[in-house]
């Protein structure tokens, strides 16, 4: 479903990229981070999750209260340039995306702070207020208080959150615990990136994309934990293939994907066919190509599988209600990903 809606200011026109497609390419980022690995927390205990596997958030063990359960602190930050023109929706999407990293670790958001960059001489602060209102509403839906934040004057508008959560250290969702014989499930359809790129180019509004991006991954995370799942990640700027490669590499397995089982948003294939593919998506595909057996997968499907998602779903090593099974993990082979 598409609609065209008049917007006084098109936020996407003030940014060189949009949403998670504006991330630094994964290969370049890994080069930057080489050797910058901290392994010990401030309380003297080893980090439960750090930089080593490129997981969704850092996890720090906390001292257990007397007679109470063990706890872990989950810490993350995420912000980006506008992915849609509507400022309220931009705020909702950015907040849902930032909260997702906590859910992807099996945690519960406890508190968030805003991260706002705004071209104060170019865009009205009324628009900034709407962005912040959208973020506040999504955080309220998540039951997560927002305690202020930080703002800077910037040539491009950007918004997101730093989020702190709590988790059971014995029941984390990690990207390095996948085991052969485990099915792979995906909780949101792909195609967000190409629809957003079309929106930026044409002004068409895709309600199905906005609905997907503003849906919290809370229920998916809770379902995964209830099913005893230990391995998951969220699918964002590096696309399904990029995040799946990181999961398979960290877990020492190969991921086999049934391309016919992967769900897509309405209009996604048409957007690829018509050329609305971001540079971030093409860089994702280039990064995973040496590690992927593409078989006879057609070029458009390859691009959709690498599509840079914003506030995408969870990729779960296991089965949960309502999520299609898109493949399985098998013993490590020559490639980290095989498409069939």
Six-digit token pair at 87?
Answer: 């400022």
Sign of CA pseudo-dihedral 149, 311, 287, 38: positive
Return phi, psi of residue 117, to 5°. Answer: -115, 135
Identify which of 298, 109, 119, 337 has the alpha carbon closest to the alpha carbon of residue 216.
Answer: 109
Identify which of 190, 7, 186 has the alpha carbon closest to the alpha carbon of residue 87.
Answer: 7
Q: Within a 10 A sphere around the Cβ of 93, how many other Cβ atoms?
A: 30
Cα–Cα distance, 71 to 303 (Å, whole number): 40
Cα–Cα distance, 241 to 309 (Å, whole number): 11
The DSSP-derived string for 37-88 is: ---B-TTSSBPSB-TTTT-SSEEEEEPPPTTSPPEEEEEEEEEES-SSS-HH
Residues 6+ apart with CB under 8 A from 225: 106, 171, 173
Return phi, psi of residue 253, to 5°. Answer: -130, 175
Q: Considering the candidates 20, 22, 144, 231, report the single residue annotated as catalytic.
A: 20
Six-digit token pair at 133?
Answer: 């209102």
Six-digit token pair at 324?
Answer: 């299609």
Based on the residue annotation, tell me whether 22 is a catalytic residue of this protein. no
Six-digit token pair at 20?
Answer: 């998670």
User: Is-contact 310 237, C-beta < 8 A?
Assistant: yes
Q: How many residues does the chain have?
A: 340
Active site residues: 20
């Amino acid at each position: 479903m598409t609609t065209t809606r008049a917007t006084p200011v098109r936020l996407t026109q003030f940014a060189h990229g949009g949403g998670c497609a504006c991330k630094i390419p994964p290969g370049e980022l890994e080069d930057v981070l080489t050797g910058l690995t901290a392994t010990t927390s401030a309380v003297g205990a080893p980090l439960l999750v750090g930089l080593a596997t490129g997981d969704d958030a850092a996890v720090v063990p906390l001292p257990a209260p007397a007679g109470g359960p063990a706890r872990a602190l989950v810490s993350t930050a995420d912000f980006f340039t506008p992915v849609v023109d509507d400022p309220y929706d931009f705020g909702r999407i950015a907040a849902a995306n930032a909260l997702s990293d906590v859910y992807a670790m099996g945690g519960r958001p406890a508190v968030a702070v805003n991260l706002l960059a705004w071209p104060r001489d170019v865009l009205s602060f009324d628009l900034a207020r709407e962005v912040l209102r959208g973020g506040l509403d999504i955080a309220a839906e998540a039951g997560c208080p927002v305690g202020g934040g930080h703002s800077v004057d910037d040539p491009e508008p950007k918004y997101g959150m730093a989020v702190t959560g709590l988790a059971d250290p014995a029941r984390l969702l990690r990207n390095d615990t996948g085991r052969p014989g485990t099915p792979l499930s995906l909780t949101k359809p792909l195609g967000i990136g190409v629809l957003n790129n079309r929106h930026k180019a044409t002004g068409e509004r895709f309600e199905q994309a906005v609905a997907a991006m503003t849906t919290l991954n809370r229920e998916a995370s809770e379902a995964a934990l209830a099913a005893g799942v230990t391995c998951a990640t969220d699918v964002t700027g590096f696309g399904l293939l990029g995040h799946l490669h990181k999961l398979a590499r960290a877990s020492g397995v190969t991921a086999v994907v049934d391309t016919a089982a992967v769900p897509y948003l309405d209009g996604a294939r048409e957007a690829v066919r018509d050329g609305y593919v971001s540079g971030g998506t093409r860089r994702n595909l280039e990064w995973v190509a040496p590690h992927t057996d593409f078989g006879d997968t057609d070029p458009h499907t390859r691009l959709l599988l690498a599509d840079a998602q914003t506030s995408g779903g969870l990729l779960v090593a296991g089965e949960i209600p309502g999520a299609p099974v898109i493949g399985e993990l098998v013993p490590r082979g020559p490639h980290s990903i095989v498409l069939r």
